[in-house]
Amino acid sequence: MALTVLFMPESAYGPTNNCIGIGDVLRKRGHRVVFAAEASWAGKLTALGFEEELVSLAPAPDEPQDAGQFWKDFIRDTAPEFRKPTIDQLETWVKPVWQELIDGAKFCQPQLLEIIARVRPDVIVEDNVVAFPALNTAGVPFVRIVSCNPLEVKGPDIAPVFSGYPASSREGWADFLAEYDRTHRPMWEQFNDWVVEQGAPALPDLEFIPEGALNLYVYPRVLDYTDRRRLAPTWKRLESSVRETDALFELPPGFADGHKLIYFSLGSLGSADVELMRRVIAALAKTDHRYIVSKGPLHEEIELADNMIGAEFLPQTTIMPLVDLVITHGGNNTTTEAMHFGKPMIVLPLFWDQYDNAQRVHERGYGVRLDTYGFTDEQLHGAIDRLLGDAELRDRLAKDAAEIRAADGLRVAADAIERIGTAGK
């Protein structure tokens, strides 16, 4: 039975790419796949064969924007906040991010109602962290995707989300949770009141998004927290969700001959911190390895060393199979993709759930977490040499990656969306 599936991902590349991967499988099965995409994505999704319904989250800018430009600018302007301890970021960075997301949800509510009336979806899929009431009042199954670290789905026996605190010690948990409550509750109460006014169910306490009839989250079993927090039957883990739409990548002849090959990316948002990009590049230039560098939106301000190649955008999922190591910001897509392809990681977290991914990779032994703004060249070089030389880790990653790939998360997600959409229809 052919379905109309409406995806609404957050405007950043991570959630959008995750939905692209799942939507591509559904589209190839004959379903109609429509993206309610933030306006700066115009044309990016039709080029992949999807329908686009553009959504404005704020008044139109004076100049046309690149895809996700609002968040790139936001990250660039607030980068000094990332040098603070995570508990201090709750008021000065995490809370403002929530407020921007809330403002966007309120602004686009009338647009979404019109889109839903026009598209008439059989199932709605949201990959975001904030509620859009129009999606929850459409009278069709609502599917929530969590493409952030699953600490986002809170529990008493797991560390607080956004903290980056170890799982093995509860030190600091209570203080972090109390500070989160203090800084966020008034904003949550106002947002919850508005959500209810739109006819949607009340939000769970201090949560900014409700659960769906189906909830998908992307995280490999070997990193997950299921030994400490069990989820309801409506939750389904995807071992990975690696899109199959990236172009092939070919290395220049002779570039990596006889050298280890390393991929370096701080993500489309993190790479907007040009000073940090230059700092890491300068340290990597002192090694004998070869690097593929994702330069990001401010690529013209970033000069690569002789042992590097790179570009503004790169087809990450076709590069990873080629490399020996990944240096990453710890975004959920990059973290799970590195596990999918069996690559050890050095993680330099910047914001949001990246601290949690960095800590989890580190404490599970799949990589090294470094102080993003305080690492020394010697620490970075030492981490590279240790991970590249760890044959036992390489074998463990190869075994885990084979199991992750065999689980076929893209099609598991597509199957689950098909089932709930067909049952609803």
Give the C-alpha separation, 415 to 25, whole Å.
9
pLDDT at position 425 is 80
Statement to judge: residues 290 and 401 lie in one domain? yes
In a domain, 365, yes or no: yes
Statement to judge: residues 368 and 222 lie in one domain? no
Q: Which of these, 371, 391, 377, 281, lies nearest to 86 by C-alpha position?
A: 371
Statement to judge: residues 392 and 420 lie in one domain? no
**Is residue 229 pLDDT above 90, yes or no?**
no
Q: What is the pLDDT of residues 378-424, one digit of tens each?
A: 999 999 999 999 999 999 999 999 999 999 999 999 999 999 999 98
Give the C-alpha separation, 264 to 52, whole Å.
32
Averaged pLDDT, 116-123: 97
Burial class (CB in 10 A: 0-12, 13-18, 19+), 43: exposed
CATH of the domain at 387: 3.40.50.2000
pLDDT at position 153 is 92
Q: Name the phi and psi angles at 407, rounded to 5.
A: -70, -20
pLDDT at position 12 is 80
Residue 398: which domain range? 261-406
Confidence bin at 122 (pLDDT 50/70/90): very high
% of the chain beyond a pLDDT of 70: 96
Averaged pLDDT, 271-276: 86
Statement to judge: residues 268 and 228 lie in one domain? no
Q: Residue 105 half-sphere exposure, CB side, CA atoms within 13 Å?
A: 25
In a domain, 358, yes or no: yes
Statement to judge: residues 158 and 116 lie in one domain? yes
Amino acid at 149: N
Residues ≥6 apart with Cβ < 8 Å to 295: 271, 277, 302, 304, 310, 311, 312
Statement to judge: residues 228 and 312 lie in one domain? no
Q: Evaluate if pTM is beyond 0.75.
A: yes
% of the chain beyond a pLDDT of 90: 78
Alpha helices in 198-260 (DSSP H): none
Q: What is the pLDDT of residues 79-102, one digit of tens each?
A: 788 889 999 999 999 999 999 999
Statement to judge: residues 80 and 116 lie in one domain? yes
Q: Which of these, 285, 298, 284, 362, lies nearest to 79 by C-alpha position?
A: 298
Own/partner contacts of 248-257, CB < 8 Å, gap of 24 or more, are 248/315, 248/318, 249/314, 249/315, 249/318, 249/319, 249/322, 251/309, 251/322, 252/309, 255/290, 255/309, 256/290
pLDDT at position 68 is 52
pLDDT at position 216 is 96
In a domain, 193, yes or no: yes
Percent of residues in the chain assigned helix, strand, coil, to nearest 5: 45, 15, 40
Burial class (CB in 10 A: 0-12, 13-18, 19+), 188: middle
pLDDT at position 67 is 57
**Token pair of 46 as six digits:** 């039709």
**Is residue 73 pLDDT above 80, yes or no?**
no
pLDDT at position 387 is 98
Q: Residue 39 half-sphere exposure, CB side, CA atoms within 13 Å?
A: 16
Statement to judge: residues 179 and 266 lie in one domain? no
Statement to judge: residues 284 and 311 lie in one domain? yes
In a domain, 212, yes or no: yes
Statement to judge: residues 393 and 418 lie in one domain? no
Averaged pLDDT, 196-209: 96
Statement to judge: residues 159 and 227 lie in one domain? yes
Q: Which segments of 257-305 are extended strands (E)? A: 261-265, 290-294
In a domain, 289, yes or no: yes
Q: What is the pLDDT of residues 315-356, one digit of tens each?
A: 999 999 999 999 999 999 999 999 999 999 999 999 999 999
In a domain, 38, yes or no: yes
In a domain, 190, yes or no: yes
Statement to judge: residues 412 and 394 lie in one domain? no
pLDDT at position 346 is 98
Averaged pLDDT, 110-139: 96
The whole-chain average pLDDT of the chain stands at 93
Q: What is the pLDDT of residues 3-17, one digit of tens each?
A: 999 999 998 888 898
**Number of domains the chain contains:** 2
Q: What is the pLDDT of residues 29-71, one digit of tens each?
A: 999 999 999 888 889 999 999 999 999 988 876 666 665 566 5
**Token pair of 16 as six digits:** 């959008």
- Dihedral sign computed on CA atoms, order 410, 416, 422, 425: negative
In a domain, 252, yes or no: no
Packing angle, helices 274-284 and 377-388, rounded to 10? 60
Q: What is the pLDDT of residues 240-255, one digit of tens each?
A: 988 888 888 989 998 9
Q: Which of these, 2, 65, 66, lies nearest to 34 by C-alpha position?
A: 2
Q: Which of these, 421, 395, 288, 392, lies nearest to 342 by C-alpha position?
A: 395
